[in-house]
Structure 1
Amino acid sequence: MILGDIVGHRYDFKESILGILILGAFLLLFLVDFLIKKNRRDILSTLLIYSVIVYILCLIKVVFFPIYTFKDTSDIKISMFFQVIPFKSIIPSLKYHNWIQVIGNMALLFPVGVYLKILSKRVQSLKKVLVVSLLLTLSIECIQLIIDFITHYPNKVFDIDDIILNVIGCIAGWKVAENLLPHLKKDNPSILTNS
């Protein structure tokens, strides 16, 4: 049986659409920053803000798309929609050197930790980073689960191991930024809003 016989629809956030959205965001921010605002940011601060927008759009693409609907979902069981046993997929991945799964999930929210350290005035403790990263990854997993229930197919499975790795990645990003902060502050004092 070919995939086309069982797939109903494939919804995707194509790279071309992603590129158009990124370009549109750049143009909009350029207009706001350089034509309307009187207090213009330096180029490094502007690029940092742009990178946040690009990251958010890429994150949406990676964590939610593609979404498939299937013509026949009679064999789908509710247990296929989630995995709630901690380390069930992490341990075999490490044992069989499948680093892509582990590193990919940690890298997913690594930039969030960096952005929190550099851009946020409120999230400046490890405890707050832990709470923010946990809420963010839990939200992503819950949205994925809702999409799965709507499509009646486990497109992206709610996985406790993804939550664990995402949180570790976010904290790692925050710690890396914390260690680089003195150097950034010395070279570019205007890039940091939290100091």
Structure 2
Amino acid sequence: MFHSYLFPISYAFMTFPVAALFFTLPFLIVQYRKHGYINKVRAIMLYLLLLYLMNAYFLVLLPLPAARHNEPLAGIPYQLIPFNFIHDILKETNVSAQDVSTYWKLLTERAFLQVVFNIVLTVPFGLFLRYYFRTSWIRGILLCFLLSLSFEITQLTGIFGFYDHPYRVFDVDDLIMNTLGGMIGFLLAEWFSGLLPRIEHLDKEVDIAGKRVSYTRRAVALLFDGFICLILFNIATILDVPAAFWIVTGLYFMVFPFLNKGRTFGKWLVRIHLTGEAGRLKLTGLMIRYGLLYWIFFGLNLMIVTASLPSYGSTLFAFVIFVMDLWFAIHVLRRFFSKKPMLLYEQLSGTKHQITWQRPTPELAQKPAE
């Protein structure tokens, strides 16, 4: 029986890197927007929560039927009598109430182990609810019940219609035991919290506005800005706007941030902005910064694809671009691991990124948490 549990757990761990990859972008955005920076404790806890939920659902859903057009279950696909598990245990057990030496046999019997499994399954969820999310008792019970209900509905509907028929029984006892397990975890969290930093104190005495803007944060902003620019570039191309790339990048990365306190949409999303010398952002600084990056570096790379040059000229041009790209890649890597991370176009333009975060006033900083 324990082997049947190891099978879905192994699949959960194997697919976790893929799920974590898709989880990372929304995780980064939420953390930057809500907290202003990435805290390692929060990151570890949320990725552990993702890993737990994957294990929980895999344990409940696997193994899957061999084909989508599966056969219906024998009998009624639901069990709505509360505490029917007691009847199942008494019916299958070899334990004798008069013989204490037979009690250990419960630990090897399917019906009893199924109850224990349903309790243990949601204990970690209760731990997360109380330690990380700081939920109340009422909300904790409701969320544990809803998690269990999602397990049962997913099974009853054949994973929401993917399979023709349910392949597991909807059991009200599972709802009860899962909710009980979550509340046990909720109780254990009080002891567990003493071993880890308090979640509500993670940002205490952290100067968020003074933190360095990481390349990861900048990359997330660039991802969204690049997507918006791609849409604008395609629109400009359809409208036959001449020099569409240079016009779009000039308006979006130079004019728009100048009028919007140094922010593009991507920068706003991750709470960063550009600032100039003495805290004043000038249009000339933006033109130097993004003129070097987009009009020269990216612009020359674009030209090698779109320009019509003689064969000898094309080869020479491609070689020059390759050398430039290689130099730029090495330059970025060196700055990535350097204590002075400003890139060349930032130094020449006198511009840099800052976190858009209002420092709390002394009165607010001293106010106790409600």
Q: Hey, what's the Cα distance between the residues in 1 that align with 2:82 and 2:72? A: 28
Say which of 133, 154, 175 aligns to 2:187. Answer: 175
Say which of 38, 41, 55 aligns to 1:40. Answer: 38
Q: Hey, what's the Cα distance between the residues in 2 that align with 1:19 and 1:75? A: 30
Confirm or deny that 1:135 pairs with 2:137. no
Residues 89 and 148 (structure 1 numbering): CA distance in 2 closer, same or farther, change over 3 Å? farther
Shift of 1:93: 2.8
Say which of 61, 65, 71 aligns to 2:62. Answer: 65
Q: Hey, what's the Cα distance between the residues in 2 that align with 1:190 and 1:15? A: 33
What residue ranges of structure 1 are gaps of 5+ in the alignment?
1-11
TM-score (norm 2): 0.40
Q: Hey, what's the Cα distance between the residues in 2 that align with 1:75 and 1:156? A: 8
Shift of 1:106: 0.5
Deviation per CA, 1:99-137, whole angstroms, max 9, x where unpaired? 32111000111111011001214x22x222111111221
Confirm or deny that 1:21 pairs with 2:19. no
SS at match of 1:89: helix
Q: Hey, what's the Cα distance between the residues in 1 that align with 2:72 and 2:194? A: 57
Deviating more after overlay: 83-92 vs 68-77: 68-77
Residues 74 and 163 (structure 1 numbering): CA distance in 2 closer, same or farther, change over 3 Å? closer
SS at match of 2:120: helix
Say which of 145, 168, 177 aligns to 1:165. Answer: 177
Deviating more after overlay: 108-117 vs 144-153: 144-153
Confirm or deny that 1:88 pairs with 2:60. no
- 8 Å CA contact 2:8, 2:59 repeated in 1: no
The one-letter amino acid paired with 2:54 is L
Structure whose CA Rg is larger: 2
Q: Hey, what's the Cα distance between the residues in 1 that align with 2:73 and 2:38? A: 58
Shift of 1:87: 1.3
The one-letter amino acid paired with 1:110 is V
- 8 Å CA contact 2:70, 2:165 repeated in 1: no
- 8 Å CA contact 2:126, 2:185 repeated in 1: yes
- 8 Å CA contact 1:110, 1:173 repeated in 2: yes
Q: Hey, what's the Cα distance between the residues in 2 that align with 1:87 and 1:64? A: 22
Q: Hey, what's the Cα distance between the residues in 2 that align with 1:100 and 1:167? A: 17
Residues 169 and 89 (structure 1 numbering): CA distance in 2 closer, same or farther, change over 3 Å? same
Residues 171 and 22 (structure 1 numbering): CA distance in 2 closer, same or farther, change over 3 Å? same
Residues 50 and 138 (structure 1 numbering): CA distance in 2 closer, same or farther, change over 3 Å? same
Aligned residues: 174
Question: Higher relative CO (CA 8 A, sep ≥ 6), structure 1 or 2?
Answer: 1
- 8 Å CA contact 1:133, 1:166 repeated in 2: yes
Residues 64 and 30 (structure 1 numbering): CA distance in 2 closer, same or farther, change over 3 Å? closer
Q: Hey, what's the Cα distance between the residues in 2 that align with 1:72 and 1:144? A: 13
SS at match of 1:67: coil
Residues 13 and 177 (structure 1 numbering): CA distance in 2 closer, same or farther, change over 3 Å? closer
Confirm or deny that 1:118 pairs with 2:116. no
Q: Hey, what's the Cα distance between the residues in 1 that align with 2:69 and 2:24? A: 45
Q: Hey, what's the Cα distance between the residues in 1 that align with 2:139 and 2:70? A: 44
Q: Percent identity?
A: 24
Residues 56 and 72 (structure 1 numbering): CA distance in 2 closer, same or farther, change over 3 Å? closer
- 8 Å CA contact 1:137, 1:167 repeated in 2: yes
Deviation per CA, 1:120-158, whole angstroms, max 9, x where unpaired? 14x22x222111111221222112111189445442110
The one-letter amino acid paired with 1:89 is F
Residues 149 and 25 (structure 1 numbering): CA distance in 2 closer, same or farther, change over 3 Å? closer
TM-score (norm 1): 0.70
Shift of 1:170: 0.3
Q: Which residue in 1 is equivalent to 2:114?
A: 101
